[in-house]
Structure 1
Amino acid sequence: MIKLATIGTNWITQQFVDAVKETGKYDVAAVYSRHLETAKQFAAKNDVPHTFDDLTQLFSSDTFDTVYIASPNSIHFEQAKTAIEHDKNLIVEKPAFMNQKQMAEIQRLLTQHPDVLYFEAARNIHTPNFHAIEKQLGKLKTVSGAEFTYSKYSSRYDKVLAGEIPNVFSPKFGGGALQDLGVYTVYDAVTLFGMPEEVAYYPQLIRTGVDGKGTAVLSYPEYTIVLNFSKISNSHMTSEIYGLKDFIELDDAGEIQHVDYVDSQGKRQTLGNDEGRNPMIPEALDFARVINDPNDKQNKKDYVYWQQLSVYVNKVLFNLRQDAHIYFVGEKA
Structure 2
Amino acid sequence: MLKLGIIGTNWITDQFIEAANVTKRWQLTTVFSRTTQRAQEYSSKFHAQEFFTDINEFFSNGVFDAVYIASPNSLHYQYARQAIENDKHVIVEKPAFTNPDEFSQIEALLQAHPKVRLVEAARHVHTPLFAQVKQQVNDMDQVQGATLTYMKYSSRYDQVLAGKTPNVFSLEFAGGALQDLGVYPVYSAVALFGEPNSVVYFPTLIATKADGKGVAILRYDDFEVTLNFGKTSNSHLVSEIYGLKDTLVMDNPADLTDAVYYDADQQAHKLSAPVEANDMVPELRDFAALLEQPNDKEQLKKYQEWFDLSRQVNSLLDTLRQSAGIEFPSDNR
Normalising TM by the smaller chain, what interval?
A: over 0.9
Residues 1:78 and 2:74 are matched in the alignment? no
Q: How do residues 309-328 of structure 1 correspond to structure 2 at under 5 angstroms?
A: 309-328=309-328
**Cα separation, partners in 2 of 1:286 and 1:205, compared to 1, 3 Å:** same
Q: In structure 2, the residue corresponding to 1:103 is in which secondary structure?
A: helix
Residues 1:194 and 2:194 are matched in the alignment? yes
In 2, Cα distance between equivalents of 1:209 and 1:175: 10
**Cα separation, partners in 2 of 1:235 and 1:174, compared to 1, 3 Å:** same
Q: In structure 1, the residue corresponding to 2:134 is in which secondary structure?
A: helix
**Residue aligning to 2:302:** 302
Residues 1:271 and 2:271 are matched in the alignment? yes
**Residue aligning to 1:256:** 256
Structure 1 segments of 4+ aligned residues over 2 angstroms from their partners = 272-276, 329-333
How big is each residue's C-alpha offset from its partner over 1:291-327, in whole Å with a ceiling of 9 and x where there is no partner? 0002112111100000100100000000000000000
How big is each residue's C-alpha offset from its partner over 1:169-203, in whole Å with a ceiling of 9 and x where there is no partner? 00000000000000001000001111111000000
**Residue aligning to 2:230:** 230
The structural deviation recorded for 1:266 is: 1.6
How big is each residue's C-alpha offset from its partner over 1:234-268, in whole Å with a ceiling of 9 and x where there is no partner? 00100011111111111011111111111112211
Q: TM-score, normalised by structure 2?
A: 0.98
CA RMSD of aligned residues (A): 1.2
Q: How do residues 47-66 of structure 1 correspond to structure 2 at under 5 angstroms?
A: 47-66=47-66
The structural deviation recorded for 1:272 is: 3.6
Residues 1:116 and 2:116 are matched in the alignment? yes
Q: How do residues 124-273 of structure 1 correspond to structure 2 at under 5 angstroms?
A: 124-272=124-272
**Residue aligning to 2:41:** 41
The structural deviation recorded for 1:64 is: 0.4
Amino acid in structure 1 at the alignment position of 2:209: G
8 Å Cα contact 2:30-2:62 kept in structure 1: no
8 Å Cα contact 1:201-1:324 kept in structure 2: yes
Q: In structure 2, the residue corresponding to 1:217 is in which secondary structure?
A: strand
Q: Percent identity?
A: 48
8 Å Cα contact 1:151-1:231 kept in structure 2: yes
In structure 2, stretches of 5+ residues that fail to align are none
How big is each residue's C-alpha offset from its partner over 1:94-127, in whole Å with a ceiling of 9 and x where there is no partner? 0010001000000000000000000000001000
In structure 1, stretches of 5+ residues that fail to align are none
In 1, Cα distance between equivalents of 2:83 and 2:169: 26
8 Å Cα contact 2:129-2:275 kept in structure 1: no
The total of aligned residue pairs comes to: 333
Residues 1:8 and 2:8 are matched in the alignment? yes
Q: In structure 2, the residue corresponding to 1:248 is in which secondary structure?
A: strand
8 Å Cα contact 1:7-1:33 kept in structure 2: yes
Q: In structure 1, the residue corresponding to 2:195 is in which secondary structure?
A: coil
Q: In structure 2, the residue corresponding to 1:102 is in which secondary structure?
A: helix
Q: In structure 2, the residue corresponding to 1:171 is in which secondary structure?
A: coil
Q: In structure 1, the residue corresponding to 2:168 is in which secondary structure?
A: helix
8 Å Cα contact 2:98-2:331 kept in structure 1: no
8 Å Cα contact 1:258-1:274 kept in structure 2: no
In terms of mean alpha carbon deviation, does 211-220 or 36-45 score higher?
Answer: 36-45
The structural deviation recorded for 1:62 is: 4.5
